[in-house]
Amino acid sequence: MVEEHTVMTGTRTYLPDPSIRDQATMQEIETRHREFRDDPGAFWDRVAGELEWSRPYAKVREWNHPHARWFIDGRTNITRNCLDRHVNNGRRNKVALIWKGEDDEERVFTYRQLAREVCRLANGLKSLGVGKGDRVCIYMPVVPEQVISMLACARIGAIHTVVFGGFGAGALNHRIVSAGAKVVITADMTLRRGKRIPLKSVVEEAVVEAPSVEHVIVLRRDLEQPVEIHAEIEVDYYGLIGGMARDCTAEEMDSADPLFILFTSGTTGAPKGIVHSCGGYMVGAYYTTKNVLDLKENDVYWCTADPGWITGHTYVVYGPLLAGGTVFLTEATPDFPDPGGWWRMVQEFGVTILYTAPTAIRMFMRFGDDWPNRCDLSSLRVLASVGEPLNPEAFEWFYRLIGKEKLPVVDTWWQTETGMHMITTLVGEPMKPGFAGKPIPGVVADVVDKAGNSVPPGTAGALVIREPWPSMMCGVYQNEERYRQYWSTIGTCYTAGDMAVKDKDGYFMIIGRSDDLIIVAGHNIGTAEVESALTSHKAVAEAAVIGKPDPVKANIIKAFVILRQGNVPGEKLKNEILHQVRMNLGPVAMPSEIEFVDSLPKTRSGKIMRRLLKAKEMGIDPGDISTLED
């Protein structure tokens, strides 16, 4: 570690260990930047050329603002590149997936075995009448079958929509109905801190008013007390695939065909279904896993995200499998049975790349240095972070305790919508705590004012992307207008919704969301969804929620509630309202605090000014309040 110079925030710059900051690596990064600048088409063509296409694309890109088409007329199937390509080219018996359960159970799949399981389920889905273009909702715990389900859908061209297991019946129903899912794949339960949390019963409730659902496939994990399977629409997972063939020809997909829909919390109203394509997404996921996370042949790669979020889609499942890596996956909770579990797993499995989130790092910081220090972490060679700003204190701890002041820490900024990493330091580049880094080769990002003009270094502005990139979302499901908004709010740029500052070296510091999303422990929660869950309680007349800063979770949700006449504020009612939100949206979206109020600050047009509530809560200057009603 060498301290280089001071940047505007006063944080230090860290030069990576000389062994990784070698001349060749730095030159390679420079070359890639230059190649992209010189000829973006040729640049992406080279990347896409490393993957298999059953029909070569005629053209790399066509940009018709706000719609881009990538790898035009090309045909492939992402599972061909995730599975068959490896099975047929020397990685047949290489370990693709290592899974560890909370109770020490272990399961290991080679590429051949994973391909076989995917094909069996793909055939099972077909036998239920699922085909290309049909939507399948996956609501599962973190088990190999969750990954297999995603790949099985992709195999036959069905569009998966994965819903994080922490969501409740209301949120699940909404997503199933919005996607018009024909099949739901679930499990009897998920294990969390030694407790069984039922999933199937949530699905039962969620599908009552979901007429599109024809079948529910149930993975029964508890074979001693198996849950009952209701014959009308439910099917047992292993019963279904039991007699199925181990081969299933991959459906030929056009580059532009949708691969999946992932719902992300909307700023106003309903969550929006972000759609990613088969071709462009594949190329972006592959490129960044190799070049940002630096995945190599002998790595044991662990991304701690749940496959139910975009990080899990791109960097637990598709990216590392496209790159032929060995993926480690666990259902275990980070601090259960004690805060040493993660570090023991790193040691035991020889994890080399660890990709996690600031909220987890901050949690481990609290538990003290002793837990990681008890383990041999020398297998690690790359550390990475995602989901929210990696604050300097958390960076230092991660770098010092886990990276032993030698390893690169790559802080990756990206979004559900971008599909892949956009801004980060690359392995070998100087690191600046608090700053994500620079746009990677292939990405043209900027910090701008309202008119879309670049602002000078040191000035805050909106984070935008100026040029299309392969894994950009190809649409918002059944909502063209919302899609267009992304590309028409600031000039013709893609507006990320984050505020940022650039320094003189071109490093981006992400300041936070400028819209109504709250990031709670790395999960993106829409204020609108929580507010409507609150107002669904009969005693609640109106509600507003804000993110209140929290040292570990980054934010907690605080709700301001106006009661209907005749209701008495108190603990009992508070708990009732919280229960309602929990039942509706699940524990992930539960407010930590509720305050009963008589009025909410509103603009003249009737919009709740959450910014004002937040300023008051934090005791800071609310800024411009000229639009306030009174």
CA distance 123 to 153: 10
In the complex with ligand PRX, the residue whose CB is nearer, 144 or 434, is 434
Residues 525, 531, 533: CA angle, nearest 5 degrees: 95
In the complex with ligand PRX, the residue whose CB is nearer, 416 or 584, is 416
Piece in contact with ligand PRX (CB under 6 A), picked from 42-50, 383-391, 531-539, 567-575: 383-391
CA distance 192 to 568: 36
CA distance 412 to 402: 18
Paired tokens of 327: 């993926």
Question: Containing H/E element for 205?
Answer: helix 200-206
Contact between 529 and ligand PRX by CB under 6 A: the answer reads no
Residues 75, 79, 81: CA angle, nearest 5 degrees: 70
Looking at 510, 518, 588, 608, which residue binds ligand PRX (CB under 6 A)? 510
Piece in contact with ligand PRX (CB under 6 A), picked from 14-22, 92-100, 295-303, 413-421: 413-421
In the complex with ligand PRX, the residue whose CB is nearer, 76 or 495, is 495
In the complex with ligand PRX, the residue whose CB is nearer, 141 or 497, is 497
Site for ligand PRX in 86-125 (CB under 6 A): none
Looking at 331, 388, 529, 531, which residue binds ligand PRX (CB under 6 A)? 388
In the complex with ligand PRX, the residue whose CB is nearer, 359 or 415, is 415
Looking at 524, 527, 535, 580, which residue binds ligand PRX (CB under 6 A)? 524
628: DSSP letter: B
* CB 265, min distance to ligand PRX, A: 8
Burial 524-563 (b: 16+ CB within 10 A, else e): bbbbbbbbbbbbbbebbebbbbbbbebebbbbbbbbbbeb
Looking at 140, 172, 386, 581, which residue binds ligand PRX (CB under 6 A)? 386
- Beta-carbon contacts of 167 under 8 Å, excluding residues fewer than 6 positions away, are 139, 175, 585, 586, 588, 589
CA distance 510 to 502: 9
In the complex with ligand PRX, the residue whose CB is nearer, 170 or 497, is 497
CA distance 251 to 254: 10
In the complex with ligand PRX, the residue whose CB is nearer, 60 or 496, is 496
* CB 378, min distance to ligand PRX, A: 26
CB hemisphere CA count around 202 (13 angstroms): 33
Strands (E) across 418-487 are located at 423-424, 438-439, 445-448, 460-465, 475-476
What are the φ and ψ backbone dihedral angles of 236, each rounded to 5 degrees? -80, 135
Write the burial class of residue 117 (CB in 10 Å: 0-12 exposed, 13-18 middle, 19+ buried). Answer: buried
In the complex with ligand PRX, the residue whose CB is nearer, 117 or 498, is 498
* CB 300, min distance to ligand PRX, A: 22
* CB 262, min distance to ligand PRX, A: 9
In the complex with ligand PRX, the residue whose CB is nearer, 241 or 519, is 519
CA distance 562 to 565: 9
Site for ligand PRX in 206-245 (CB under 6 A): none
In the complex with ligand PRX, the residue whose CB is nearer, 462 or 573, is 462
State the residue for tokens 């996370």: 293
Give 300's strand partners: 326
- Beta-carbon contacts of 95 under 8 Å, excluding residues fewer than 6 positions away, are 108, 109, 110, 326
Paired tokens of 574: 């508070």
Region for residue 5 given its phi and psi (left: phi exceeds 0; alpha: psi -120 to 50; beta: otherwise): beta
Site for ligand PRX in 240-299 (CB under 6 A): 264
Strands (E) across 94-182 are located at 95-100, 106-110, 135-139, 159-162
Contact between 389 and ligand PRX by CB under 6 A: the answer reads yes
- Beta-carbon contacts of 322 under 8 Å, excluding residues fewer than 6 positions away, are 51, 78, 81, 82, 282, 285, 286, 289
Site for ligand PRX in 296-355 (CB under 6 A): 310-311
Contact between 359 and ligand PRX by CB under 6 A: the answer reads no
* CB 164, min distance to ligand PRX, A: 10
* CB 305, min distance to ligand PRX, A: 8
CA distance 309 to 163: 8
Contact between 187 and ligand PRX by CB under 6 A: the answer reads no
The answer to whether residues 514 and 497 touch, using CB atoms and an 8 Å cutoff, is: yes
Contact between 526 and ligand PRX by CB under 6 A: the answer reads no
In the complex with ligand PRX, the residue whose CB is nearer, 411 or 429, is 411
Compose the 414-443 pattern: x for residues touching ligand PRX by CB under 6 A, - for all others: xxx-------------------x-------
Looking at 251, 411, 429, 531, which residue binds ligand PRX (CB under 6 A)? 411
Compose the 3-22 pattern: x for residues touching ligand PRX by CB under 6 A, - for all others: --------------------
Compose the 470-509 pattern: x for residues touching ligand PRX by CB under 6 A, - for all others: --------------------------xxx-----------
In the complex with ligand PRX, the residue whose CB is nearer, 167 or 237, is 167
Contact between 412 and ligand PRX by CB under 6 A: the answer reads yes
Binding residues (CB under 6 A) for ligand PRX: these are 264, 310-311, 386-389, 411-416, 436, 496-498, 510, 513, 519, 524
